[in-house]
Structures are given as structure tokens and as C-alpha cells.
Chains A and B, each alone.
Chain A
Amino acid sequence: MKIMVAIKRVIDYAVKIRVKPDKSGVETSNVKMSMNPFCEIALEEALRIKESGRASEVVAVSVGPAQCVDTLRTGLAMGADRAIHVDYPGSLYPLSIAKILKALVEAEKPGLLLLGKQAIDDDCNQTGQMVAGLLKWPQGTFASKVVLDEEKQVATVDREVDGGLETLCLDLPAVITTDLRLNQPRYATLPNIMKAKSKVIKKGHPTGFER
């Protein structure tokens, strides 16, 4: 089974955000950018599933400007096998991202699509839900525990909801978005960073994925 993980490049969580002098947005030039923490958790979960033998390949995808390649390299350094970079210089809203992800899923045919529950720059918390709707796949959002059953092709997901924990059983293929307490992401070790240099990052264009 292939797992696809969608990751986003955002302003680093620990940076002090400054508003631009012309009030048109936040200062993003010369500011440290890194992988969205929830996306890191999603990638870590995908890697753990692969290491337990239930998946054969982990593909990391990202939509954004050219520098997204750095974030994808980090993902490859953590252990992803391949990466796809959809090059788009501007900013996109969750619905457009969801449409692009739908096209990628239809091309790659993964058994599981993992995303972070939300990005820390816009806090939308919409992409996972929208792509599940577009694909007509079951969704388990705010996952704090994921258990896969290969024979029955189901995923048991513990969700963190306002009232406590809710356990869902989803048929695969499914969309799962990850929450904070799911796991603690691994560090990128040097040997893996070096190996990542030779891994492939495929390029894609958003126009090719139009509806």
C-alpha cells in the first residue's frame, strides 16, 4: 500500500511574527520557514506505518513556491521515499489545494492520505475534510491514534473531539488528519539527510490538475 502525505511549508512555529510596514500581510522574507508541525506528525505516522510493514512506500507532496523543495528534502531526510512538488508561486486556499491533492491521489492511487489537521499560518483546518469530500473517501480528523488492519482494509482512528475521544472505523482508502498527541516526530539524522539528496522530487503544475 502506498501512503501519500501532504506537507506545507510555513513560517517556523517559534518565530516572532511581524506585520509588514504597509500592513499588507506578515513579514515572510528573511524569516525562518519550516515544515508545518502537524504535517511533521503526519509524515512521522506514515513512516511508522511503513516501518511496521503495512505500507510499501511513502510519498510526500507539497504545493507552493520553489523553496518548498527544501521542506520536501526534510521530509525525504526523515524517511519518505519520493516527493512531488507542485510549483505555484502564490498562496492557495484549502479548496484549491484539495482539488490538486485529488488529482494527485487519482494519479498515484495511495491507500491512505495523511495530512496535518491544520496549518499554523492560516489555521484553516479545511483541506483534509475537503479532499475527502471531493474523493468521496471516509475521513478521520484530529487523529490521536491510528491502527491499521491490512486484511480487513480498515483504519481505526481515535479522534480528539470537544467531548473527549471518539473512535471511528474507516474503510480504506481514507483521509486521516493528525493531531498533536499522535506521535513525536523523529529527527533527521545525517545518514538519512545524505541519502535524501539522491531521492527523486517530481515536478508538477497546478494547471495540469485542473478539474
Chain B
Amino acid sequence: MEKWRLTYRLLKHSSNFDRRLTSGHRYLFGRTFIPFKENFRTLECPSRSYVNGASVSFAIVNGNSYAVQHRYLASVASTTQRNPDFSKITSDDISYFKKILGERGVVQDEEKLADANTDWMRKHKGSSKLMLQPRITEEVSQILKYCNSRCLAVVPQGGNTGLVGGSVPVFDEVIINVGSMNNILSFDKVSGILVCEAGCILENLISFLDNQGFIMPLDLGAKGSCQIGGNVSTNAGGLRLIRYGSLHGSVLGLEAVLANGTVLDMLGTLRKDNTGYDLKHLFIGSEGSLGIVTKVSILTPPMLSSVNLAFLACEDYASCQKLLLEAKRKLGEILSAFEFLDANALNVVLKHLDGLRDPLPSSVHNFYVLIETTGSMESHDKEKLEAFLLQSMNSGIITDGVLAQDINQTSSFWRIREGIPEALMKAGAVYKYDLSVPPEKMYELVEEMRARLGSAANVVAYGHLGDGNLHLNISAPQYTDGLSSKIEPFVYEWTSKHRGSISAEHGLGLMKADKIHYSKSPETVLLMAAIKKLLDPNRILNPYKVLPPSILSQS
């Protein structure tokens, strides 16, 4: 029955072109021409036109005109349809929400909604007509209790910087944006334990801790917009994971609201607490599908005074690996970040971002590695680092490098690495993959992908080499089905063959909702579905994402 409906839809769409322009539905293969008003956060869009079958508008940024793609790309295999069990919003619902949240907390303004409906990559766009902005946990609880009773689907949203379409509605789910819950509740200067609400922006927390002499255990390129609740819900990784570990270790407690409105207070501030099952781990990384995180208690490391950053060049990937091994051994406890990027990545950044220059302009190198050390004694760290670098140069592992001499140079080098996603967005369409693969095999995938795609696309690789995490990005002028089919499912099958993870840190979201079987066994997925059913029987929390819809509908 499902298959017949699907084929019917396909036939309906392929023959009747004009109806697409007015119906406003999302389509299976991403050819969406929705004539709504776009609202970009930082760009102005004076004109729209249709170029090569894709809707393109021209945005003026700093006097340069960029053609901004909005071809909404659904995963080739996804055949998501709106679950008919979910109710639609009525005016009674809106008045109820207004009663709980006041006029401020209920957003129906089209411009603001357009923003909230679109993800950062501009690949996924929902059609939600309602966004709620609660300010306290009690309001979240009341909203969810009501939505559960009415069977209204909801999408928890924070900074909306996710890269797998997990933070935006798929259809008309109600957006619950926790951005207004941004208070820092307490900070213990002795233990470094920070308790704050889920809507605190990561960069604000970093500045706050800066004044206290502490740092956040995670750092990522999106820090200016991402919120801690979202970081925790997606188990964000970032640049410092190699030193401070994942959020499963740093988060000491959290407060979450379940689908039926129950507030689970697990906001412990204890370093050790072995009483019963540690349920917070279920919520860390569940991407909002088991509950909405409203408060977080996190252990923050003390800020150490001596930070050094080296930008190094390697001849081939094998040297990068040797360098990693040597760094772990020779730098030991002071190593705080180990990132790599290939020549294509550096070229993209230098081409599309302003104010950056090549740290090693004298010659062209194939691979670049950023090594950061953090310690408490400048002289000791510098000596260790210089000895390590000298030895690596002498043994030929690195061919050249620069050492940042002041904080300005340090930020420039980091900008090069952190700016790659932004530069890729400016370059056109991006197919983004985040894979955990055995370090020895990492670059093999990149080379195989290059061979497969040839000159059709620019394959760019960078990532957290220290954690075995590759960010494989394929940059092309626009999204095409031909390109998509060459990339997927090859990339997932390759990863699965080498027992890697198809999503190292980005999560599954919508983009990889039906791909979990590449990295997890059927029994584990069935148990996940059972837990989901237990905590959210009506499946209102972030539907269509994380777990395969087929498995969920079975249980």
C-alpha cells in the first residue's frame, strides 16, 4: 500500500510542473521551488532567479555577489511522509500556548519562522507555522504535556547549527526554541562546576568562564551560535575532545523534560555518583528524540596559561599519522588539539574567506596539521614542543611549519581550520559527511572518492585526526542527482565495511535517519526503538529523525 502511494506521488509530480510552484510541499528529490520570502541572517537578497533548474538568489555580502543555492536536498533514499497520526494546529492550541507563555513566547511571524524552519546548511526546510519560546522549565513541561495530549509533533531547537537537519521541522511540527532560557545558574570556583540553562550560547559561556579562569571542555567552530542544550543533546565533539574527552564525561548532570511533561531532575553537581542507572547518558546524544534538555551541569577544566600552536606541513598521509603517534608520545599531557586539513581544504579557505593568508606560502604542500599544546608553564611547554618539532623535521615527518608567536597568529591559524565549513558553503553546494574510520584507512576513502568523481567535484578532507574523525566534504557548483548517486551509498558502505561510524559527531538527524544499520546491529536498533517507545509513546519528539521510521512504526 505504501509503495503504491509512493509511486502515485512520483507520477503526479513528474507530469504536472506548474502545480509545484504553488503547492509549497517538499519533494522527494529536492527540486523545490517554493515562492516564499527568504530571510537570511547575515545576507541581503535583492533578487531571485531560476538557474539550471535550481532556485538561486543573489546575495550581496561585503560588496561581492554570491549566488546562494537553495536547492533543498532530501536524502535520495528518504521517502518521508507526514505521519497522519499527528494533529494539526488549531486556534485553540495557539490561545492555550499564549496563555502559558504570554504573547512574547508565541511566534507566528513568517520571517522569523522562515529562519527557524531552515537549517544552517540550507538543505532542509520545514513548514512549521508556530514557534514557542519558553523561559522556564515549567513552561516547557506544560507545553509538552499539552502537545502530547493533543498529539502535536514538536522539534526542540537551540542554535540551529546542526549539520544533519535534526534541528528543523520536516513538516509542520511545532518548534520549541529554548534560546530564551539563557541564564547561568551557578558556578563553583573551586570545583569548576558550571550549572546553566540549555539556551546559553557556547561562546558566552566561554567568555564567562574566561573571567573566572576556567574553560569549556568543548570548542567548535559554531560556538558563536550553538547552545549548550543542543551541544549536550547531540553529544557535540569539537576541537578539544582529544584532551578533555566527550560530553559523556564532562556533563555531571542535566534536567530534561519528557514527552508527557514530566520533569526529570538529574541535575547533579557531583563528580561521582553511583546510585542506580545513569540515565543522563540516554539524553546526551539522543538529539532531542527522548526529551528536551533544559538545564546542564558541566565540569569545566581550569584555564592554563601557556598555549602554543604549530601549523605544520606533511608530504603524505602516512606522515600525518606518524606525527600523531609521535605527538601523543612526545607531547603527552600537554597536547590539546590535533587537526588535519588537506591542500584542497586550504585552497577553499584562502579563496573564499577574507583576511587570511597561507602560513606556508613558500611551497605547495599536500597535508597540513595543526597541533596545539596547553600547559601551565610556558618555558616547559615551549621547550617540549620545539624539541618535538625539531625531531620531527629531522626525521622527515614534517617538511615545514610555523609556530604562532602571539595570540593574533594563533587565532589566524585556527580561523583557517574553523573556517572551512563556512568557506565550503560560499563555494556552492556541499555534500557533507562525518565519519569515524580507523586512522590508517582514513585517506584511502578520500582518494577513492576522488577517483570516482573525477573532475565533477572538489573532494575536500579535514578533521580531528587525533580522534580518527574525518570530515569528508564534496564541493560542487550545485546539487545534482548524478553526483548524489555516485557518493551515496558508496560512502556509507565503505565506512560500514571498515567498521567505522557513519556519523562520528554530527549525529543522525534527518539526513541519516535510515542509515543507522550501517553502523549499529539490528538488535541494538530494536532496543533503541523500545526505549523511544517507553519515553515517547506518541512519538511527538523530533519525529522522522534519528531512528529509521520503519523500525519505529513496527514497535
Docked-complex contact A190 and B406, CB < 8 angstroms? no
Residue among B386, B402, B411 making CB contact with A187, cutoff 8 Å: B402
Docked-complex contact B305 and A14, CB < 8 angstroms? no
Q: Is A34 an interface residue (CB 8 A)?
A: yes
Given A30-B305, A32-B305, A184-B357, verify A190-B401 contact (CB < 8 Å): yes
The docked-state distance in angstroms from the alpha carbon of A14 to that of B401 is 23
Contacts of B407 in A (CB 8 A): 12-15, 32, 34
Residue among B310, B357, B411 making CB contact with A14, cutoff 8 Å: B411
The docked-state distance in angstroms from the alpha carbon of A12 to that of B308 is 14
Given A184-B357, A190-B400, verify A14-B405 contact (CB < 8 Å): no
The docked-state distance in angstroms from the alpha carbon of A13 to that of B412 is 14
Contacts of B362 in A (CB 8 A): 189
Q: Is A35 an interface residue (CB 8 A)?
A: yes
Docked-complex contact A13 and B406, CB < 8 angstroms? yes
How many B residues touch A, CB cutoff 8 Å?
26
- Residue of B at shortest CB range from A194? B390
* Contact digits for B311-322, partner A, Cβ 8 Å, 1 yes 0 no: 110000000000
Docked-complex contact A189 and B401, CB < 8 angstroms? yes
Interface residue ranges of B346-382 to A (CB < 8 Å): 357, 359-360, 362
Q: Is A165 an interface residue (CB 8 A)?
A: no
Q: Is B408 an interface residue (CB 8 A)?
A: yes
Docked-complex contact A194 and B393, CB < 8 angstroms? yes
Contacts of A190 in B (CB 8 A): 310, 312, 389-390, 393, 398, 400-403
Q: Is A191 an interface residue (CB 8 A)?
A: yes
Contacts of A32 in B (CB 8 A): 305, 307, 406-407
Docked-complex contact B400 and A74, CB < 8 angstroms? no
The docked-state distance in angstroms from the alpha carbon of A165 to that of B393 is 46
Q: Is A95 an interface residue (CB 8 A)?
A: no
Q: Is B81 an interface residue (CB 8 A)?
A: no
Q: Is B49 an interface residue (CB 8 A)?
A: no
Contacts of A31 in B (CB 8 A): 305
The docked-state distance in angstroms from the alpha carbon of A34 to that of B359 is 19
Docked-complex contact B359 and A187, CB < 8 angstroms? yes
- Residue of B at shortest CB range from A184? B357
Interface residue ranges of A116-157 to B (CB < 8 Å): none
Given A35-B406, A187-B405, verify A193-B386 contact (CB < 8 Å): yes
- Residue of B at shortest CB range from A14? B407
Contacts of B404 in A (CB 8 A): 187
Residue among B310, B311, B406 making CB contact with A34, cutoff 8 Å: B406
Given A189-B400, A191-B400, verify A34-B393 contact (CB < 8 Å): no
Interface residue ranges of A29-50 to B (CB < 8 Å): 30-32, 34-35, 37
Residues of B within 8 A of A (CB): 210, 305, 307, 310-312, 357, 359-360, 362, 386, 389-390, 393, 398, 400-409, 411
Q: What would be 16 A-B contacts, judged by CB atoms less than 8 Å apart?
A: A12-B406, A14-B411, A35-B405, A77-B405, A184-B357, A187-B311, A187-B359, A187-B409, A188-B403, A189-B362, A189-B401, A190-B390, A191-B393, A194-B386, A194-B390, A194-B393
Residues of A within 8 A of B (CB): 12-16, 30-32, 34-35, 37, 74, 77, 184, 187-191, 193-194
